[in-house]
Structure 1
Amino acid sequence: MTRRVVYGVSLWITMAATAMTIASIVLPHWVSWDSKTVAGQPIRYSYGLHKRCSSLTGACEDFPQYADCHDDRSFCSMWRSVGFLMTFTVILELAGLIAFAVIILGGKQKRDYGWKLICGLLTLSAATQAASMAIVAYLFDHDSRFFVGWRLDTSWILCTVSWVLLFLCDLGLALFAIYLPEEGGYELIPNAGQA
């Protein structure tokens, strides 16, 4: 049985993880490369799930484009899969936030059994994010476009922290639901002979 306070803390953790997930999608900083020109000016290239930015042009362009996919279709398929999985994760997290609201505002019976639904949503969210992070890490290690000097950047770290938080929140919620005593349970009435 899980109490409102446990659901409340889990809700805040899930909201923080959702914010990190959205930020990792929006920010074009999954993989970056920093260097300097001969004159000492900094140069930065960064790849996001949907944009590629360059400090030389000062602009961001859509990514991946047809030219990026023409020679290496496997890279584009995997990169676009990450974009899909991350978007799907946001949908799952938003569904989880709605489930939290319904369960917290509902009665005791919803709190008694609602943790199973939330744990399922959090597990699925964490798994899809972990898969996204792993695909980007694989591409970073094995694709020829990421040579010496490239690094996994802020968005990748946000994704990693987000799914770890979701997993820990999921685990904690399940443990509290199983091991906490029932909220507002019945008290035994002492026998007349024991009084």
Structure 2
Amino acid sequence: MTARCHTTLSSLLNMSNSLVVYVVVFFLFLGSYALNLTALFLPKWLIFVTPRPFYTETTYGLFRLCRSYSGDCRPFPIEDQDCTEEGFCELWKTASTGMILAAVIGGLALLGLLATMCSNRRKRANGWKLLSALFILHAVPQAAAMGVVAYLFNSSSSFYVGTRYDLSFIFATISWCLSVVIAGILVLAAVLGPPDYAYESL
């Protein structure tokens, strides 16, 4: 009787720990996904500030270019205005496509997390494999987009001297790094979990 009660208590604790891990992962990844979406839509990947006394800001987003002196934004890049340098527009659009792809994969990962959290213990015990893969897949296109923008920043003559990285670039970097860390946490929690972490019939 005592052994049976001990087994039951241990199983309940393992189930609780499993669910707790997924809840923590859910909120961490929600933060990563929010940064992904912010970087995607906020037109602040690069910024150029003119020297005083004529202070103005020009910010470059994946889809828009904004200038503070006019107070408006325009699509970016535009074929006849911004694509004079060979390969620039193609690479910039590749970066935006990467961020869109990451947003789609991130949405699927969130749905997968919710489904796993609401499923039985057997599925939760095995759900880490698919979820950790989705987290890595969420990180890869963001890292690629960041790399493309960094390459253009360092090599393209389309940007003024003094242009620097802005908030969206930083958000994208934090987002993909956080997704990789979350995937690692999930894998470690599964691999280093107690032996009876997997399903046992009571």
TM-score in terms of structure 2 length? 0.86
Would the aligned equivalents of 2:121 and 2:199 in 1 still touch at CA under 8 Å?
no
- Structure 1 unmatched runs, 5+: 188-195
Matched, 1:160 2:173: yes
Kindly report which structure 2 residues correspond to 1:17-166, keeping only aligned pairs within 5 A, or say none.
17-37=32-52, 40-166=53-179
**What is the distance in 1 between the residues matched to 2:83 and 2:118?**
52
Q: Which moved more, 1:118-127 or 1:176-185?
A: 176-185
| Partner SS, residue 36 of structure 1 | coil
Number of paired residues? 185
**What is the distance in 1 between the residues matched to 2:38 and 2:59?**
15
Q: Quickly say closer, same or farther: Cα 1:143–1:25, change in 2 above 3 A.
A: same
**What is the distance in 1 between the residues matched to 2:83 and 2:199?**
65
**Alpha-carbon displacement from aligned partner over 1:81-139 (angstroms, at most 9, x marks no partner):** 11111011001011000000111100011111110010110011111111111110010
Deviation at 1:35, TM superposition (A): 1.8
Kindly report which structure 2 residues correspond to 1:174-189, keeping only aligned pairs within 5 A, or say none.
174-181=187-194, 182-183=196-197
Would the aligned equivalents of 2:45 and 2:168 in 1 still touch at CA under 8 Å?
yes
Would the aligned equivalents of 1:21 and 1:162 in 2 still touch at CA under 8 Å?
yes
Q: Quickly say closer, same or farther: Cα 1:98–1:186, change in 2 above 3 A.
A: closer
- Structure 2 unmatched runs, 5+: 1-13
Would the aligned equivalents of 2:77 and 2:83 in 1 still touch at CA under 8 Å?
no
Deviation at 1:66, TM superposition (A): 1.5
**Alpha-carbon displacement from aligned partner over 1:137-163 (angstroms, at most 9, x marks no partner):** 010000012242100110000000000
**What is the distance in 2 between the residues matched to 1:92 and 1:186?**
32
**What is the distance in 2 between the residues matched to 1:76 and 1:186?**
56
| Partner SS, residue 42 of structure 1 | coil
More helix by share: 2
Q: What one-letter code is carried by the residue in structure 2 that aligns with 1:10? A: V
**What is the distance in 2 between the residues matched to 1:36 and 1:108?**
60
Q: What one-letter code is carried by the residue in structure 2 that aligns with 1:160? A: T
Partner of 2:6: none
**What is the distance in 2 between the residues matched to 1:94 and 1:135?**
23
Deviation at 1:73, TM superposition (A): 3.9
| Partner SS, residue 44 of structure 2 | coil
Q: What one-letter code is carried by the residue in structure 1 that aligns with 2:111? A: I
